[in-house]
């Protein structure tokens, strides 16, 4: 498996000779980071004490900010790269599993598949984790990122650029999923963040890689301009018609299912393998953890909660729903995009 071996974070890379990236360049990024950090606007954090705003996006001050700077300064894309782009809690884990399973479907059997023993996040590298070994990966590389489209370096988006698969989700479900997830990861010394607080911050755009609507619109507009480069998906469609969406995904990726594969039920097998019901009950996803950087280690079980559409109804008040829907309506007005199926 071309699995992603968890990488050291940018600090560690700067101290090692990694053979791929000039350590002086990394040092320069780290110096730039230390210089800008104190002057960035701050907002309340969900998982960390605060978030910082850089180039219009809200980021955790260590991992996400350094990661973005690393990608902008050093990432060397290839035209064959396939990058899964998401706002957190919109379906990243699911999309990673589906893409990994479909692209590698001739390599692995369904009974001893890597996804049965590896969390989807461990199967493809996350760019912001500053993976140092990317140059050694064979093409086509499967990558992932939370970086907004407009902040990606030109080398990733112009001319011989990568291809992207983006997935969005109803912001009400994103908010609830994110709030519950972040409170699980919030250090004990910080008081849990209330739903009311999380709601206010989300509406103001102050959440990891937020504002949410800007993130979605960046990829949406780019997908309209260059549909051959960006496939735009919705979590709700994937839930409703997984077989249809997976076939679209494979056509886009350039790995269309043959008639023989379809008649043998390969698409159904992939959907079943990657289903919430299957992945969430696997031992690896109940007891192991994923290391994204030296300070960012997450229990795999936190990536699987309910996996439903509309769970916001359990948590949000009528006033919250009205306000969030109104913001969404205003932000998306004229874009042609609507959330949900
Ligand atoms: P991440 O950004 O931290 O990687 P991400 O995978 O994007 O999170 O989103 C997690 C959500 O996807 C969770 O939603 P919930 O809180 O509303 O339940 C999680 O349960 C859901 N999820 C994870 N895996 C799957 C899957 N295989 N099918 C459907 N939903 C899934």
Residue 172 domain-assigned (yes or no) = yes
**Looking at the domain assignment, is residue 18 inside a domain?**
no
Burial class (CB in 10 A: 0-12, 13-18, 19+), 52: buried
Task: Read off the pLDDT band of 24 (50, 70, 90).
Answer: confident
**Does residue 41 lie within any of the structural domains?**
no
CA–CA separation, 146 and 166 (whole Å): 10
pLDDT tens string 259-274: 999 999 999 999 999 9
* Residue 147, in any domain of the structure: yes
Cis peptide before 140 (omega within 30 of 0): yes
Query: What does the block give as tokens for 274?
Result: 């990657």
| 66 within a domain of the structure (yes/no) | no
- State the CB neighbour count (10 A cutoff) for residue 39: 7
Tell me how far apart the alpha carbons of residues 40 and 57 are, in angstroms, rounded to a whole number: 11
Q: For residues 165 and 91, what is the distance between their CA atoms, to the nearest angstrom?
A: 12
Q: Give domain status of residue 101, yes or no.
A: yes
Tell me, in angstroms, the distance from the centre of ligand 1 to residue 146's CA: 14
Share of the chain above pLDDT 70, in %: 93
Residue 162 domain-assigned (yes or no): yes
Q: What is the pLDDT of residue 12?
A: 40
Report which ligand 1 atom has the smallest distance to the Cα of 306. Answer: 18
The CATH number of the domain holding residue 100 is: 3.40.50.300
Considering only the C-alpha atoms of the chain, give the largest distance between any 2 of them, rounded to a whole number of Å.
59
Q: CB-based burial of residue 280 (10 Å sphere; 0-12 exposed, 13-18 middle, 19+ buried)?
A: middle
Q: Which of 14-18, 164-168, 321-325 is predicted with the least confidence, judged by mean pLDDT?
A: 14-18
Ligand 1: which residue has its CA nearest to atom 10?
A: 89
Which residue is associated with the tokens 């009974």? 111
Whole-prediction pTM: 0.93
- Ligand 1, atom 27, residue with closest C-alpha: 276
Asked if residue 292 lies in contact with residue 298, where contact means CB atoms within 8 angstroms, the answer is yes
Give residue 14 CA to ligand 1 midpoint distance, Å: 33
pLDDT digits (tens, 9 = 90+) for 58-73: 999 988 999 999 999 9
Domain residues for the domain of 149 are 77-205+213-332
User: In degrees rounded to 5, what are phi and psi of residue 115?
Assistant: -70, -10
What's the number of CA atoms in the CB half-sphere (13 Å) around residue 303?
30
Residue 273 Cα to ligand 1 middle (Å): 15
Closest atom of ligand 1 to CA, residue 304: 20
Q: How many domains does the chain have?
A: 1
Between 165 and 293, residue with greater pLDDT? 165
Distance 178 CA to ligand 1 centre (A): 10
Report residues whose beta carbon is within 6 angstroms of any ligand 1 atom.
Answer: 86, 88-94, 173, 177, 274-276, 279, 303-307, 311
Q: Is 24 among the catalytic positions?
A: no
- Point out the catalytic residue in the list 74, 113, 146, 208: 146
pLDDT score, position 21: 57
Task: Choose one of 99, 116, 304 to mutate for the ligand 1 pocket test, by most ligand atoms within 8 angstroms of C-beta.
Answer: 304
Q: Is residue 170 part of a domain?
A: yes
Q: Distance, CA 13 to ligand 1 centroid (Å)? A: 30
């Amino acid at each position: 498996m071309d699995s992603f071996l968890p990488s050291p974070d940018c600090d560690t890379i700067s101290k090692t000779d990694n053979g791929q990236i000039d350590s002086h360049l990394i040092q320069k990024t780290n110096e730039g980071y230390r210089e800008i950090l104190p002057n960035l606007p701050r907002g309340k954090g969900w998982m960390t004490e605060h978030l910082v705003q850089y180039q219009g996006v809200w980021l955790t001050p260590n991992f996400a900010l350094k990661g973005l700077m690393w990608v902008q300064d050093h990432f060397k894309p290839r035209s064959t790269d396939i990058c899964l782009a998401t706002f957190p809690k919109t379906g990243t884990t699911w999309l990673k599993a589906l893409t990994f399973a479909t692209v590698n479907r001739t390599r692995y059997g369904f009974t001893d598949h890597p996804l049965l023993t590896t969390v989807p996040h461990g199967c493809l590298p996350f760019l912001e984790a500053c993976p140092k070994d990317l140059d050694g990966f064979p093409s086509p590389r499967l990558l992932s990122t939370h970086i907004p489209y407009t902040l990606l370096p030109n080398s990733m988006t112009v001319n011989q650029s990568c291809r992207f698969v983006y997935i969005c989700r109803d912001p009400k479900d994103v908010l609830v999923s994110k709030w519950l997830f972040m409170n699980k990861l919030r250090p004990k010394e910080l008081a849990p963040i209330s739903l009311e607080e999380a709601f206010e911050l989300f509406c103001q755009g102050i959440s990891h890689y937020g504002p949410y609507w800007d993130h979605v619109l960046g990829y949406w507009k780019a997908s309209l301009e260059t549909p051959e480069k960006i496939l735009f998906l919705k979590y709700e469609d994937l839930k409703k018609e997984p077989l249809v969406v997976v076939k679209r995904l494979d056509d886009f990726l350039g790995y269309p299912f043959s008639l023989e594969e379809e008649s043998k039920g390969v698409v159904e097998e992939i959907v079943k393998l990657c289903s919430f019901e299957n992945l969430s009950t696997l031992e690896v996803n109940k007891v192991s953890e994923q290391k994204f950087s030296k300070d960012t280690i997450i229990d795999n079980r936190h990536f699987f909660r309910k996996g439903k559409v509309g769970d916001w109804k359990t948590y949000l008040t009528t006033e919250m729903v009205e306000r969030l829907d109104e913001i969404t309506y205003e932000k998306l007005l004229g874009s042609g995009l609507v959330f949900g199926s």
